[in-house]
């Protein structure tokens, strides 16, 4: 029986985090718990499309200090220290990442379940050191606008059998506020309740399921796992552009966006430098710095977010630390770029990965050709320096190495003491078979192996 939302019983206290339902995995649902007319979804989205060009949201600072890190050991509970020790002993960590998974209506549910079930199967089929330690969600967990009543259908139920922690940064769909929303019930309030809980609890959004709310310190945070540190930034509520600050001093400013994350990013990079951290550093941000459009084209599914990237680059330059890779979502497809740059006198090659094919929808890239199974040719190996205008850093070219705009998929990331390897596992579709695309970065040299 679902837990009654209006139950007068107080919530039980938990001393240990729970990630999945115990016992045999249950079959996939065939419908939503909260029925929802797909037409309503489009109506709602179109009604607020204009506002999504200008209505930013404010948010709280993280609990704790800017240079604090959330360790994987803490998130895993009392077994965490020994689990993390096992990962360290095994010599590598594996984790999953996806973006844009939320099925905004029942028609989209098979897409989301397909990805969620593949993630769960991949976890269960992996043993020992190959078993993923967690899933990192790159945002847009619940569509259309992060409503409480859809967390069950779009998050808790699809991932009910996924047996590991799920961390998340909010996407624009997890944060845009529909006018008239009650205070305390905005999408970020609900996201915070479910992902940034100060205590271990099962939220009302989970109904009868047992996954406890994640205990991130905020909507932006640094996750420290063996061999890798992920700095997650919240890029706010607009469709475009992504914003991690008010961008004060620019031609267009966004006074409603707090600037906390600039200091947070600087503090995190400073800590990495001070610690002489030797692991891989990843920046995760929902809006992708780069997204493809042919040169000279005015058509694009989304615009790139080079102003946001300029801010990140400037902070990296000031702190003398550059990440080994960027992970994003937002564009509903897969895109993998390499940005070559000179940093601190060394040549770096940095993958920028867009993994917005997590189940919500698939969007063709501008200029992509309709095809059959035999004729699909992804847009790949294209020089796209024009997507990186006026960079802060000395750049040496940007290429779109690989893309896929036909298949859902997920990232499987493996990090050891020497190498960061990012794999996109696409699932088979009606027209294009499953595939794996991979890139590996040498951690010490920041060069693609």
- Chain contacts with Fe ion (rule: CB under 5 A): 140, 171-172, 330
Smallest separation, CB 189 to Fe ion (Å): 19
Angle at 419 between CA 19 and CA 351, to 5 degrees: 85
- Do the Cβ atoms of 119 and 96 come closer than 8 Å? yes
Whether omega for the bond prior to residue 102 falls within 30 degrees of 0, making it cis, is no
Smallest separation, CB 192 to Fe ion (Å): 18
- Do the Cβ atoms of 324 and 341 come closer than 8 Å? no
The residue (of 343 and 352) whose beta carbon lies closer to Fe ion is 352
Angle at 242 between CA 238 and CA 244, to 5 degrees: 110
- Do the Cβ atoms of 356 and 404 come closer than 8 Å? no
Smallest separation, CB 326 to Fe ion (Å): 16
Smallest separation, CB 281 to Fe ion (Å): 24
The residue (of 77 and 301) whose beta carbon lies closer to Fe ion is 301
The residue (of 140 and 311) whose beta carbon lies closer to Fe ion is 140
Smallest separation, CB 174 to Fe ion (Å): 9
The encoded tokens of residue 113 equal 């379940």
Smallest separation, CB 196 to Fe ion (Å): 19
Smallest separation, CB 90 to Fe ion (Å): 35
- Do the Cβ atoms of 142 and 155 come closer than 8 Å? yes
CA–centroid distance for 248 within its chain? 26
The residue (of 172 and 403) whose beta carbon lies closer to Fe ion is 172
The residue (of 171 and 323) whose beta carbon lies closer to Fe ion is 171
**Cα–Cα distance between 144 and 175 in angstroms, integer?**
10
Residue ranges with strand state E in 344-418: 346-355, 382-383, 394-404, 409-416
Q: Is the dihedral of CA 190, 63, 135, 421 positive or negative?
A: positive
Q: What does the DSSP 8-state code read for residue 183?
A: T
The residue (of 172 and 426) whose beta carbon lies closer to Fe ion is 172
CB-based closest residue to Fe ion: 330
Q: Of the candidates 133, 72, 92, which has an alpha carbon nearest to the alpha carbon of residue 420?
A: 92
The residue (of 112 and 140) whose beta carbon lies closer to Fe ion is 140
């Amino acid at each position: 029986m679902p837990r009654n939302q209006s139950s007068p019983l107080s919530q039980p206290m938990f001393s240990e985090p729970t990630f999945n339902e115990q016992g045999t995995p249950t079959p996939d649902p065939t419908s939503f718990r909260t029925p929802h007319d797909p037409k309503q979804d489009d109506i709602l989205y179109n009604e607020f499309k204009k506002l999504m060009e200008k209505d930013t949201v404010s948010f709280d600072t993280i609990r704790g200090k800017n240079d604090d890190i959330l360790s994987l050991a803490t998130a895993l509970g009392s077994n965490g220290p020994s689990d993390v020790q096992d990962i360290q002993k095994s010599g590598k960590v594996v984790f999953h990442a996806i973006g844009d998974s939320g099925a905004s209506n029942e028609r989209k549910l098979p897409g989301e379940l397909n990805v969620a079930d593949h993630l769960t199967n991949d976890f269960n089929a992996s043993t020992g050191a190959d078993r993923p330690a967690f899933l990192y969600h790159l945002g847009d967990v619940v569509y259309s606008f992060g409503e409480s009543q859809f967390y069950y259908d779009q998050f808790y139920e699809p991932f009910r059998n996924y047996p590991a922690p799920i961390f998340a940064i909010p996407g624009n769909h997890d944060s845009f506020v529909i006018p008239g929303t009650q205070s305390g019930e905005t999408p970020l309030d609900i996201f915070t309740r479910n992902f940034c809980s100060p205590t271990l609890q099962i939220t009302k959004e989970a109904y009868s399921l047992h996954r406890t709310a994640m205990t991130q310190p905020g909507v932006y945070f640094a996750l420290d796992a063996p061999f890798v540190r992920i700095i997650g930034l919240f890029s706010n509520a607009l469709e475009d552009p992504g914003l991690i600050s008010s961008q004060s001093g620019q031609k267009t400013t966004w006074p409603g966006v707090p600037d906390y994350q600039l200091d947070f990013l600087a503090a995190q990079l400073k800590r990495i430098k001070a610690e002489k951290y030797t692991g891989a550093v990843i920046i995760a941000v929902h809006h992708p710095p780069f997204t493809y459009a042919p040169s000279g084209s005015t058509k694009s599914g989304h615009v790139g977010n080079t102003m946001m990237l300029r801010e990140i680059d400037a902070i990296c330059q000031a702190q003398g630390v550059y990440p080994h890779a960027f992970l994003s979502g937002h564009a509903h497809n897969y895109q993998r770029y390499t940005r070559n740059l000179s940093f601190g006198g060394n040549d770096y090659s940095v993958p920028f990965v867009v993994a917005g094919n997590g189940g919500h929808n698939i969007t063709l890239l501008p200029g992509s050709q309709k095809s059959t199974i035999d004729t699909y040719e992804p847009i790949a190996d294209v020089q796209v320096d024009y997507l990186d205008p006026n960079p802060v850093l000395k750049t040496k070219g940007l290429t779109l190495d690989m893309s896929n705009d036909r298949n859902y998929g997920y990232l499987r990331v493996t990090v050891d003491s020497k190498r960061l390897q990012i794999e996109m596992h696409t699932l088979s579709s009606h027209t294009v078979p499953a595939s794996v695309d991979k890139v590996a970065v040498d951690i010490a040299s920041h060069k693609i192996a």
